[in-house]
Each structure stands twice: as structure tokens, then as C-alpha cells.
Amino acid sequence: MANTKSAERRARSSARRHEHNRAIKSGLKSLEKGFTDAAGAGKKEEALQALRLAVSALDKAAKTGVIPKGRADRKKGRLAARLNALK
């Protein structure tokens, strides 16, 4: 339990940020799944569009500190490699 006013504020702020980050991570997973489904079905154009959306979201999440930059780069590379394997 927080003992000071500033600690109470930090706890509230931390809880808000936690929920915000969880929502962003959930959205990232949905975008990755959309790409994976399109790539698995062999739909190159849909997969390319899904890849663009996923890369944009990964970059934004890394920029704002939701996920580490290295993780974003690794996921982008793996998704792009999967798209290139389709062609």
C-alpha cells in the first residue's frame, strides 16, 4: 500500500499506463495474426497490406517504449522474411 501522496499518484499513473500498454500489445498481436492468416492462405496482396500495418504499429510501440526496439526489429524481420518466402 502506498504511504505518501506521491506514491499514491504513481500507483494510479502506473495502473493507467499498464492498461494502456496491454491494449497496445493486444492490438499488435491481432495485427500479427492478421498477417499470419493472410500469409498462410497464400494471399500475397493481403499479406503485404497486413505487413505494412504491423510494421507501423511495431515501430510506434517501440518508439513509445511499450516494447523494446530490438523486439520490434526482430518481429519486423521475421514477418518480412515470411512474406518474401511467399513470393
For each of the domains in the chain, give its residue range(s) and CATH number, in order of start.
5-86 (1.20.58.110)
pLDDT at position 87 is: 73
pLDDT digit string (tens) for 38-87? 999 999 999 999 999 999 999 999 999 999 999 999 999 999 999 999 87
In SS3 terms, the chain reads as CCCCHHHHHHHHHHHHHHHHHHHHHHHHHHHHHHHHHHHHCCCHHHHHHHHHHHHHHHHHHHHCCCCCHHHHHHHHHHHHHHHHHHC
